[in-house]
Amino acid sequence: MHIKRIHMELVAATLTAGIGLLAATGSLDLGVGWESSGPQPGYFPFYVGLIVLLASVASAAQTLFALRRHGEKRREIFLEAEQVRRLASFFLPMAVFVVVAIQLGLYVGSALYLFYVAWRQGKYHPFAAVSLGLGFAVALYLIFEIVFQIPLHKGPLENMFGVY
């Protein structure tokens, strides 16, 4: 499996177009007009979102027109199979960490993420990986909750054990 340059250019244009569309439509709730005292709160985000959306559409159009002119250059390989595997081995655990941290809390998510990365990617002994994950979660708790008194997201497991 390999990913071609043109596909990545079109994916990037689509993602940035989505961000621009999201910014423009989200600012409609704030008002995008001009009042006697000046612009409404959504005025600038709306127009910035439109600019990003238009630039993304122009980028996608430029990519497609360049494909017709310079077809072979646009079909060059962007990522080889091994590069895709390496990227996935980095990105997938991070994406799982985000989901776990939202569902189970930041401390549990951090401990599980560090355990997995140390064990699978760092080739640590499982005992050392567990120690690293738990040690980091405890250090995170001590630094933020005790020293700086900044509460971090705690999920149901932390509440069950009485960690407030």
Tell me the three-class secondary structure of 39-54, residue by residue: ECCCHHHHHHHHHHHH
Q: What is the pTM of this model?
A: 0.61
pLDDT at 98: 95
**pLDDT confidence of residue 163:** 63
Cβ pair 113, 100 in contact under 8 A: yes
List per-block mean pLDDT (blocks of 10 residues) for the chain, which spans 164 residues.
Answer: 84 96 93 87 93 96 84 73 86 94 92 95 94 95 92 80 66
Q: Where along the chain do its domains lie?
A: 1-79, 81-163
Question: In the prediction, which pLDDT does 2 show?
Answer: 76
Structure tokens at 106: 């930041």
Q: Are 5 and 76 in contact (CB under 8 A)?
A: yes
- Output b/e per residue, 77-105; b: 16+ Cβ within 10 A: eebeeeeeeeeeeeeebeeebeebbeebb
Reduce the DSSP state of residue 3 to 3 states and report it: strand
Return the pLDDT at 12.
95
End-to-end CA distance of the chain: 47
Amino acid of residue 101: A
